[in-house]
Amino acid sequence: MNFIVSSSVLSGKLAEMSKVMNPKVVDPVLGYFLFRIKGEKLQITASDGDCTQCSTVDVVSTSEDGELCMPSTLLLNAMKNIPEQPLTFIVNPDNYSVVVKYNNGKFDFQGRSSEDYIVNTEIKGDFNESIIGSNILSMAISQTSFAVATDDLRPIMCGIYFTVTDGKFQVAASDGHKLARNTYPMDANTESAGDMSLIIPMKPAKLIKGLSTGEQQVRMLYNEREATFIFENDALHFRLLEGRFPNYNAVIPKNNDKVAVIDRSALLAAIKRVGVFSSLASGCIVMRFSGLQVTVSGEDIDFSTSAEEIILCTYNGTDITIGFKREYLRQILETFTSEEVRISMSDKSRAALFTPVTDEKEIDNLSLLMPMMVDD
């Protein structure tokens, strides 16, 4: 099992696939990459036990088909500073030793039998299939992931909820304080076998976003317990979060009658500046809407610091003073790409809605944020 492969191509692919693996592994074999030569292709597998990525790399030449486990950390560190050039891998099938030769040197290490590498790489049993564009998939994860919970006491909310209903692809996440719900059209290149409902853990969601490049079509194979996302040269298999995701549509208010339209960049910049002077403990930003302006302020009583800025806006409704956690505000505003943002409120103790002001009718972005209690 000898083969020649580009150093930069292999190094880049291994660095990408190392994100699947855990630094501390329960099973030592999960600290290895599985290399499999099949025809003119090098198939590489990396896994943490729950999430497995399989990728294909072109090779310059091969001697024969075969497979071997190679230590991930050692191989990554060894290839880190090798410039672009062909690498020749010479594998001894009798003792699993590997010699890697390049232009002006070589290094060798000990591999491991592939028989020890037992991971799930595909769905077992029946499954459904949907197809979606990688650009929509990447956008959906980017605009939703900030709202995912990190509290292990509520594991069902530690993921992104994917649904297909009535011909629309909807993605949602919530941690109880903030909610993101984004809806995208099912275009001509997007297909679904019917309604879909998946709760994808955050780790595979990030990996899916990294693999969703270009204009490729992504096949999603799934059942109640597991899913496989198939890209042009990669496949990601992982376990789903099992359970019932909360009915997030039920908590979205329908009668927020106080509406402000503000320049998104100006508001974001003001929050970042004023936030320096707000309380480190609470991180509260106070917004006072009145007439054609909003006053953004922050205060830290413990250190006797405060700041405020006035931003012009379009506002309809009675005067209102409402407080938000500055980090949550920043995250919501940074996910939008529109020039202006619409904020809908009812009173200082009820959820506010944030939506981008845009002519885009096919995509519906909505974020909900619970306020913090402040004095009028």
pLDDT per residue over 136-154, tens digit each?
999 999 999 999 999 888 8
Q: Of 116, 141, 165, which one is at a domain's C-terminal end?
A: 116
Q: Which residue segment(s) compose the domain that 161 sits in?
A: 128-249
Residue 208 has what pLDDT? Answer: 96
What's 51's domain CATH number? 3.10.150.10
Handedness of CA 308, 310, 313, 317 (dihedral sign): positive
Residue 31 has what pLDDT? Answer: 94
Q: Taking Cα atoms as reference points, which of 37, 84, 46 lies closest to residue 64?
A: 37
Residue 278 has what pLDDT? Answer: 93
Element (H, E) at 262: strand 258-263
Handedness of CA 66, 221, 52, 217 (dihedral sign): positive
Same domain, 303 and 258: yes
Task: Provide the CA 143 distance to its chain's centre, in angstroms.
Answer: 9
Same domain, 288 and 308: yes
- The total number of structural domains that make up the chain: 3
Quote the crossing angle between the two packed helices 72-79 and 7-17, to the nearest 10°: 140
Distance CA(316)–CA(344), nearest Å, equals 10
Q: Of 88, 116, 144, which one is at a domain's C-terminal end?
A: 116
Give the pTM: 0.90
Q: Is residue 55 part of a domain?
A: yes
Question: What does residue 219 show for φ and ψ, rounded to 5 degrees?
Answer: -90, 130
pLDDT for 198-241, tens place per residue? 999 999 999 999 999 888 999 999 999 999 999 999 999 999 99
Same domain, 10 and 108: yes
pLDDT at residue 368 is higher than 80: yes
Q: Is residue 102 part of a domain?
A: yes
CB 57 within 8 A of CB 13: yes
CA dist 302 → 29, 281, 299, 325 (Å): 52, 10, 9, 18
pLDDT for 158-188, tens place per residue? 999 999 887 789 999 999 999 999 999 876 5
Same domain, 256 and 193: no
Q: Of 180, 215, 249, which one is at a domain's C-terminal end?
A: 249
Q: Is residue 121 part of a domain?
A: no
Same domain, 170 and 225: yes
Mean pLDDT of the chain: 92
pLDDT at residue 269 is higher than 70: yes
Q: Which amino acid is at 319?
A: D
pLDDT for 250-266, tens place per residue? 999 999 999 999 999 99
Q: Assign 376 to helix, strand or coil.
A: coil
Distance CA(174)–CA(181), nearest Å, equals 9
Same domain, 310 and 358: yes
Buried (b) or exposed (e) across 193-229, using 16+ Cβ within 10 A?
eeebebbbbbbbbebbbebbeeebebebbbeeebbbb
How confident is residue 192, by pLDDT bands cut at 50, 70 and 90? low
Q: Taking Cα atoms as reference points, which of 281, 128, 101 lies closest to residue 194?
A: 128
Residue 193 has what pLDDT? Answer: 55
Q: Is residue 123 part of a domain?
A: no
Q: Is residue 315 part of a domain?
A: yes
The DSSP secondary-structure symbol of 129 reads: E
Same domain, 101 and 30: yes
Same domain, 281 and 210: no
pLDDT for 53-110, tens place per residue? 999 999 988 888 899 999 999 999 999 889 999 999 999 989 999 999 999 899 999 9
CA dist 13 → 100, 115, 119, 216 (Å): 17, 23, 20, 18
The DSSP secondary-structure symbol of 186 reads: -
pLDDT at residue 376 is higher than 70: no
Residue 187 has what pLDDT? Answer: 61
* Sheet-wide strand order for 66-71: 66-71, 32-38, 41-47, 51-58, 234-239, 226-230, 217-222, 128-133, 191-192
Residue 27 has what pLDDT? Answer: 87
* Sheet-wide strand order for 320-325: 196-201, 159-165, 168-174, 178-185, 364-369, 352-357, 340-345, 258-263, 305-316, 293-300, 284-290, 320-325
